């Protein structure tokens, strides 16, 4: 069984007991969250596709902890102008564990 969910504007294919990193969520570590933007659920040989979301499907997950992604560096340089600048960014992420996929 697997599902395709949408979290933070991105889509993830998940199965029970998967650990994924999504955009930062405002939940405490150890708390349970319900992800209701389910696009697709595959159970045995049956495939349910939403338009755009499945109303009867829910994914339950547990927040493990908040983390930061590796640093991404932006460097711009103009030759012969003595001009350059460097900026770094680390995206805030939340690591979650998928507990259950419900299709009622």
> What gap in Å lies between CA 86 and CA 7, rounded to an integer?
30
Residue owning tokens 């995206």: 91
> What gap in Å lies between CA 74 and CA 79, rounded to an integer?
16
102 touches 3 (CB < 8 A): no
In the beta sheet, which residues pair with residue 80? none
pTM of the model: 0.85
Per-residue pLDDT of 18-73, as tens digits, reads 999 999 999 999 999 999 999 999 998 899 999 999 999 999 999 999 999 999 99
The phi and psi torsions of 64 (rounded to 5 degrees) equal: -90, -60
95 touches 23 (CB < 8 A): no
């Amino acid at each position: 069984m697997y599902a395709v969910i949408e979290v933070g504007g991105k889509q993830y294919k998940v199965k029970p007991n998967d650990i994924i990193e999504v955009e930062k969520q405002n939940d405490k570590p150890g708390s349970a969250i319900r992800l209701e933007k389910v696009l697709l659920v595959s159970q045995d040989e049956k495939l349910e596709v939403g338009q755009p979301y499945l109303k009867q499907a829910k994914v339950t997950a547990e927040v493990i902890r908040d983390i930061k992604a590796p640093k991404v560096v932006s460097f711009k340089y103009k030759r012969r102008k003595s001009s350059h600048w460097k900026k770094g960014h680390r995206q805030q992420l939340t690591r979650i564990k998928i507990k259950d996929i419900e299709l009622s």
